[in-house]
Amino acid sequence: MTFQELWAFAARNPVYSIAFVGLTAAIIANEAARLLRGYKALAPSQVTALINQENALVVDLRAASDFQAGHIAGSKNVQMAQFDPENKQLAPARALPIVLVCQNGVTVNGAAKRLKKAGFERVHILEGGITAWRQADLPLVKGKA
């Protein structure tokens, strides 16, 4: 396809052309925001490696009842309503990698931004949350931590 043919198609189909440009701009903006946010989304297997190799602190932001029903071994439950980067469980862990966990991987974004703003360097989120962890057939522990 030549440039003239592409230009002629765009001229004949302005709605498609505008939609294409808009979607392309949205994808680029989304990827740029993801790269600049300062924390990284990890797959369950990457979280497992980080826990095993670098003693990562896993912070579960779900409600206490959800946490007790099943959580990642060794994780700490800090509910979002009480989440504070200066929390006694978090503040000493500034040098460790921290992995934030919620149910579906959505709630953690605000907490990750707060940790980065407070000076935590190695902040990660579990992409897809506990739901993704379960789908990967990884073990959960029941009861209090």
Token pair of 62 as six digits: 């779900």
pLDDT 10s digits, 20-79: 989 988 888 877 776 667 788 999 999 999 999 999 999 999 999 999 999 999 999 988
Q: How confident is the model at residue 129 (pLDDT cuts 50, 70, 90)?
A: very high
Judge whether 22 counts as a catalytic residue.
Answer: no
Domain with residues 39-135, CATH architecture: 3-Layer(aba) Sandwich (3.40)
The pLDDT of residue 35? 65
Show me where the domains of the chain are located.
3-35, 39-135
Phi and psi dihedrals of 58, rounded to 5?
-100, 125
What DSSP string runs through 21-55? HHHHHHHHHHHHHHHHSS-EEE-HHHHHHHHHHH-
Question: Given 47, 98, 101, 102, which residue is catalytic?
Answer: 102
pLDDT 10s digits, 65-112: 999 999 999 999 988 888 888 777 677 778 889 999 999 888 898 899
Mean pLDDT of 104-129: 89
C-alpha dihedral sign at 50, 55, 61, 66? positive
